[in-house]
Structure 1
Amino acid sequence: MDTRARILQAARRTFSEKGYAATRLDDLAAELGLTKGALYHHFRSKRELLLALLEASQAEARRALEGEAPLEERLLRYALAYQEGVEPLAALASAQGGRGGEEEAKDLAQEAMRRELAFLEAFFSRLAPSKGRELAALFASIVHGAHMLEKHVGGYRAEDLLREGIRVFARGVEER
């Protein structure tokens, strides 16, 4: 794994565990055995690092929708990739939002969610031209709801909820 990928992986974990404000780039560099200069060579600021994480995660999730697989399969791949990458970072907008210094992370995460909804709206508009916005919101609700139930309520497995929710959702979209 190259240095940039190692930094992104460690930052994703640290942001999710400690929160954005509590994460210090100096500590991240030390944890990875890097100098501050080496870390700053790849990312000039913590903000730039969070943006890179959000963009990389969104790109991975979007790639899951490509290909000739059945809609249900592509949507599940998207949901699992999104949950793995973006969801823990987007949780900064709510779970860590009460801490001082988290406002920047909250704003960046919310903007990433708005961009992703716009992307999903365009995707679903190709399948159901007059219903893209509503389908994007419903699909996002399934993805976020599954993650939130697993994380905050307990007794649920997000992947199980995603499989069932997307199965029902995809059937409804295909019947249109």
Structure 2
Amino acid sequence: MDTRRALLQNARKAFAERGYAATSLEGLARTLGLTKAAVYHHFASKRELLEALLEEGAQQTQKVLAIPGSLPQRLMALALAYRGQVEPLSALMTAQSGRRGGDREAARLAQQAMRRGLEQIAQVLEEVAPGRGRVLAVVFASIVHGAYMTALHMPGYSLDELLQEGVELFVRGLPGQKNKPEAG
């Protein structure tokens, strides 16, 4: 694995576990056995690293939503793809924390990523619910985020079960989808 990819993977994990504000480039370098200079060769700042991860997430979302299949299949694939992404809402919240009010630019980047992700989902949902895609995208994202947070912080809950049930319930509530096959 190349150094850039290793940095991205380690940063994704660190941001998820500790948050943006509590993650340092020095710590990432140390974890990988690199010098800080090696990190700066690939990323000029922690914010640039976050931006690269958020961009990867947007590209992955677009890729998943473009896969042929039924709406339930595409939404389930999107919900599962969320697992490997830096979650913009958590990035936003942790970028705002920390010393001196946090990193406002990182918070702005995370907010833009959230907006972009919601717009991507809204475009797909507009096909089945014209004029409602934007609101439905937020509802869907809330279901997915809630499933991940519950499975992460509440022992005894299966992420896959929560996602499956959440996607099925969401799809059944869409116009013209009540009798469609399940997301599996």
TM bracket (short chain): 0.7 to 0.9
Residues 73-128 of structure 1 deviation map (CA, whole Å, 9 limit, x = unaligned): 111110111133132x5323346754326444444323311221122222211332
Once the two structures are superposed, the pairs formed by residues 58-69 of structure 1 within 5 Å of their partners are 58-69=58-69
Give the AA of the match of 2:43: F
Q: Give aligned-pair identity as a percent.
A: 47
After TM superposition, which residue ranges in structure 1, 4 or more long, deviate above 6 angstroms?
Answer: none
Work out the CA distance in 1 between the residues paired with 2:169 and 2:153: 24
Work out the CA distance in 1 between the residues paired with 2:161 and 2:34: 39
Give the match for residue 83 of structure 2: 83
Task: Say whether the 8 Å CA contact 1:58–1:82 is kept in structure 2.
Answer: no
Residues 35-66 of structure 1 deviation map (CA, whole Å, 9 limit, x = unaligned): 33332221111100001011112221331122
Give the match for residue 91 of structure 2: 92
Give the match for residue 29 of structure 1: 29
Call closer, same or farther: CA 1:131–1:146 in 2, change over 3 Å: same
The residue matched to 1:65 in structure 2 has which SS? helix
Give the match for residue 10 of structure 2: 10
Give the AA of the match of 1:31: T
Give the match for residue 45 of structure 1: 45
Work out the CA distance in 2 between the residues paired with 1:95 and 1:23: 10
Task: Say whether the 8 Å CA contact 2:21–2:97 is kept in structure 1.
Answer: no
Residues 112-147 of structure 1 deviation map (CA, whole Å, 9 limit, x = unaligned): 112211222222113322221122122112111212
Gapped regions of structure 1 (runs ≥ 5): none
Gapped regions of structure 2 (runs ≥ 5): 178-184
Once the two structures are superposed, the pairs formed by residues 1-176 of structure 1 within 5 Å of their partners are 1-87=1-87, 90-94=89-93, 97-100=96-99, 102-104=102-104, 105-173=106-174, 175=176
| Greater Cα shift, 3-12 or 129-138 | 129-138
Work out the CA distance in 2 between the residues paired with 1:165 and 1:144: 10
Deviation at 1:158, TM superposition (A): 2.5
TM-score normalised by the chain length of structure 1: 0.84
Work out the CA distance in 2 between the residues paired with 1:170 and 1:128: 11
Task: Say whether the 8 Å CA contact 1:19–1:96 is kept in structure 2.
Answer: yes
TM-score normalised by the chain length of structure 2: 0.81
